[in-house]
Structure 1
């Protein structure tokens, strides 16, 4: 009887210990699961932070690339301007000369240009002082020099020249370089207007080829691909052996990609 009374408490104690051990094991398992979840959350947070940091770096790189692209676009236009100047010299276009080297003004009015080819005659300069007219043209053109590149001043100068000397023999050149000045400053609408005016008023000018080429470039930049192709094709058809034709052909090839 006494032994039975001793065994019962002992059994109860063992049962309680077993239950406590089981509870401790269950709690340990729960803690381990929680630790694993916390570990996953921490890893996710670190990944998110890393992605945010990468995103900021990429945004900075995109902004740098945009600025670089803008600089390259401006540089490209300036190179076009310099190339046009060189082409003008090679093709015999009228370029500015120093006023110190100006020939004396003729005593009589120049003879009208022959119209044997059926085209409209070139307008005769209306200025009474051709040397002064040339000097004012030179002053506007000088702002385009690579050492200055003051395109707004050039625009103002050519505009003033065209208002003052609308019938000048230099008017077509002034219109062309006015268009180029607008083109370099990315004012495509004004550049296109200047080139269209040149093509309309001076169809026989030696600047027509360059004006058509730049018109094609501008139309392409505006997204008017069909008009751009038509204009560039005119350059190929009318000036097949010229340097501008090679440039037009290269642009057409680039547009077809």
Structure 2
């Protein structure tokens, strides 16, 4: 009886052990599966992180590009404003001198008719000083296109006249104001070549240097700007500041 009981207990114990063994044997698979899923999750998170970092880098580069373009636009706007201010200052400064010369020339003419002090259109009956003053007054009134035509007409009649150098200079200024750089360069260069003794030479050197710089030719720009900066007056001051800002 005792033997049968022991045998029965053995029969019951074996399946239990086998079941326990099976449970133990299946555990490594579950562990490996869990590790695999965890590793996959980590890889996905790593990839997402890398993508986010890449996007952040692109955003940073785009922001820097936008800021750089914004600064360049602001610089060009300021440059154009400086041209307007400089033009207005020079026109205002010379107005009284031109008017005085015009009146002196008018008084020397042998004419019985009384001349008007108001600006008159260009005509064959006007003196050289009057024709220049008429062109200059158009510029002062911001009629730049009409003024440009008038200065050209003056130079056709008086290519070596008293105001020929000034006419070349103001045509260069007008073209620079209109951002027509090749034409501006042509007139400033003509002044330096044809009128080397003119009092407009320092201004023309500064402006020609600026034109070359705006065209991307620093090699030609810098000697002219250095030369202008070595002088005195407004052109020297402006040239020094331009060199400081751009070289």
Calculate the TM-score normalised by the size of structure 1. Answer: 0.67
Contact 1:172–1:202 (CA<8 Å) still a contact in 2?
A: yes
State the match for 1:114 in structure 2: none
Name the CA shift for 1:230/1:129 in 2 (closer, same or farther; >3 Å).
closer
- The aligned length equals 227
Name the CA shift for 1:200/1:133 in 2 (closer, same or farther; >3 Å).
same
The higher relative CO (CA closer than 8 Å, separation ≥ 6) is in 1
Name the CA shift for 1:47/1:74 in 2 (closer, same or farther; >3 Å).
same
Contact 1:233–1:248 (CA<8 Å) still a contact in 2?
A: no
State which of 54, 64, 68 in structure 2 corresponds to 1:58.
64
State the match for 2:227 in structure 1: 233
How much does 1:69 deviate?
1.9
Give the structure with the higher percent helix: 2
State the match for 1:181 in structure 2: 174
Q: What is the CA–CA distance in structure 1 between the aligned matches of 2:55 and 2:66, rounded to whole Å? A: 17
> Structure 1 unaligned runs (5+)?
110-125
Name the CA shift for 1:243/1:154 in 2 (closer, same or farther; >3 Å).
same
SS at match of 1:95: helix
Describe how 1:1-257 pairs up with structure 2 within 5 A. Answer: 1-85=7-91, 89=94, 94-95=97-98, 104=106, 106-108=108-110, 128-130=125-127, 133-134=131-132, 136-143=134-141, 148=142, 151-221=144-214, 222-225=216-219, 228-229=222-223, 232-233=226-227, 236=230, 242-244=232-234, 246-247=236-237, 250=240, 254=244
> Structure 2 unaligned runs (5+)?
1-6, 112-122
The root-mean-square deviation of aligned C-alpha atoms, in Å, is: 3.9
